[in-house]
Structure 1
Amino acid sequence: MKKIINQAQNVVPEMVQGFIRAHHEMIEQIPETFVLKQKEIGKQVALISGGGSGHEPAHAGFVGSGMLQAAVCGQVFTSPTPDQILEGIKAIDQGEGVVMIVKNYSGDIMNFDMAKDLAEMEDIKVGTVVVDDDIAVEDSTYTQGKRGVAGTILVHKILGAAARKGASVDELVDLGERVIKNIKTIGVALTGATVPEVGKPGFVLGDDEIEFGVGIHGEPGYKREKIKPSKAMAEELISKLAAAFQWKKGEKFAILVNGLGGTPLMEQYIFYNDAMRLLDNERIKISFSKVGNYMTSLEMAGISITLLKIEADWVEALNEEVDTVAW
């Protein structure tokens, strides 16, 4: 295992310290926790998200005006504890309530729900939206139902815009559920990822192998094949998205091509170009595009593609200026 770390057990606290020192003008740490919060929060419903570390820049990179007000960092690939989540909720509540944006993993669901119950005992109104955008497999390691992956970032962005404009807890939960119904993601891995305290990859692919549908914690996908050109990978993933959406010509979508940690931007843009050619052939209109590393899996080489079927003023929300580290 080659990683730029000190002791494996100190990866998360040292990462959090480094993040705060690099971005102290925008972000602060709640003492005695791994919760990172926006320094100055206006009068609004506050948004909190989080999960296991190892997916950077998610979620701390999206804390700031127009997106999240706090992110809770668990240990690598491990849900944060309810007490940490509760401290985050209490720190960001401005009297208007808090909405939790949670990826659909069993540990995350259980711990965020427990924190919600504790917060409501302290008279804080808390809403929850659960992101389950991965269409690769229905049930997998850590999940009941579909996994929450890179589409979560688009939920942060659209709900963040609405919260900043004064939407209530109930309105944000309704909006979140509508957005999530319109988001679908699927990915492909070229290598596994190594959790520092484990010291070896969670799965191993041959030099000439790829796996379609792998999750962001290395959960199994749906098919392992020999390496293919980018065009062939794009055809596989776009065909799955087309079947899932049952789209019609002329429909409008946003697209997010997301690197999983070890894939250069050069390759991400090649893949984006191949995906766009296929979407052009389908006469699908792309109203918003994003390419880069937003929801990673440590050093995993691979890529995911997220499509969001556009409704109402969602493009405007996606294009709104925000004050975050990573958007």
Structure 2
Amino acid sequence: MKKLVTAPETVVEDYLRGLALAHGDLLDVHTNPNFVLRADRPALSGREPQVAVISGGGSGHEPLHCGLVGPGMLHAAVPGPVFTSPPAPQIQAATMAADEGRGVLMIVKNYTGDVMNFETAAELCELDDVEVASVLVADDVAVEDSTFTAGRRGVAGTLVVEKIAGAAAARGDDLAAVTALAERAAASVRSMGVALRAGVNPNLGQATFDLAEDEIELGIGIHGEPGRERVPMRPAKEIIGSLMDAILADFEAGEATAADGDVLLFVNGMGATPDSELHLCFAHAYDACTARGIAVTRSLVGSYVTSLDMAGVSITLVRLDADLLAAWDAPCHTPALVRC
């Protein structure tokens, strides 16, 4: 294993220290327990209190979630150990610190540990009279159940839900309205990924799964969970075509097609995929949309929801009605994502 770490057991804390030093104008980083808050608290900045939008989960997916804390997005993020959910008391501490008196929305990826620990933390916070709502993200069309989940996994579409919920909170919506818009976003997003090479977990010192040099895993999870099938390596156009076929078929199996309304196409790197390859994949995904009469009106390309240093890509499509579109277009300022 070759990693730029000081020690495997302190990798999360060392990351947080660097985040604090690099982005102290945006972030207030806490340790013991670990969580990240917006630095512009109402008492310090004079801004009006908002519904607090928080998220979190196991580390290893950076910049999700800690890199997406800031005006217009998350108010707090809770990083657990690598690929391990943060415990309920850690989430509770972050929730209590983030609360600005208007309630808290938890955005939770659909993994068994995350669901259980965020639910427990919400119950503990409500005992202290903090109103808490939650929205579950389950956007992965690859499999219905996996090693980590009951039902679909929450993957790159989580970023979209965080952005839309953060925009609703920033404009002053109440908890019910922020929650409702986040639920609409979660219902409108579909994703699927592919792995070319596994990532290496610093705590284990080895790859998270085995994949032959001439194989790829279609439908891989962000923790290395199995996908739909393991197939021989093939040209990028064919790989992206397989992902798009699965995503679009899932839309068509529901009440609406992907072509209804504006469409966001999000091509996400899994941690070790060059920018040139991500944009090449975007072009193939864009062509697949065009061939089906789908007009892509919004785009995002980059490594935002990673799996350590996995080589691969995921594709996310989102149907945006007028309200979702306005929230997506709203400004935000975070270490990883800035929209003016």
* TM-score where L is the length of structure 1: 0.98
- Deviation string, structure 1 residues 39-74 (Cα, Å, up to 9, x no partner): 113411001101000000000111001000000010
Counting matched residue pairs gives 327
Shift in Å at residue 186 of structure 1? 0.3
The equivalent position to 1:129 in structure 2, one of 125, 132, 135, is 135
Amino acid at match of 1:22: A
Cα separation, partners in 2 of 1:90 and 1:236, compared to 1, 3 Å: same
1: CA distance between counterparts of 2:265 and 2:258? 16
2:294 corresponds in structure 1 to 284
Matched, 1:15 2:15: yes
2: CA distance between counterparts of 1:319 and 1:93? 25
Structure 1 contact 98–124 (Cα < 8 Å) conserved:
yes
Shift in Å at residue 315 of structure 1? 2.0
Structure 2 contact 195–216 (Cα < 8 Å) conserved:
yes
Shift in Å at residue 248 of structure 1? 6.5
Structure 2 contact 261–321 (Cα < 8 Å) conserved:
no
1: CA distance between counterparts of 2:72 and 2:17? 24
Structure 1 contact 250–283 (Cα < 8 Å) conserved:
no
2:327 corresponds in structure 1 to 317
More deviation, 122-131/40-49: 40-49
Amino acid at match of 1:201: A
The equivalent position to 2:118 in structure 1, one of 112, 118, 127, is 112
2: CA distance between counterparts of 1:30 and 1:87? 10
Q: Give 3-state SS (helix, strand or coil) of 1:233's partner.
A: helix
Shift in Å at residue 316 of structure 1? 2.3
Cα separation, partners in 2 of 1:248 and 1:290, compared to 1, 3 Å: closer
Amino acid at match of 2:299: S
Any unmatched runs of 5+ in structure 1?
Answer: none
1:212 corresponds in structure 2 to 218
Amino acid at match of 1:45: V
State the percentage of identical aligned residues. Answer: 44
Matched, 1:259 2:265: no
Amino acid at match of 1:285: A
Q: Give 3-state SS (helix, strand or coil) of 2:140's partner.
A: coil
Matched, 1:168 2:166: no
List structure 1 runs of 4+ shifted beyond 6 angstroms. none
1: CA distance between counterparts of 2:36 and 2:25? 13
* TM-score where L is the length of structure 2: 0.94
Cα separation, partners in 2 of 1:155 and 1:248, compared to 1, 3 Å: closer
Shift in Å at residue 249 of structure 1? 5.3
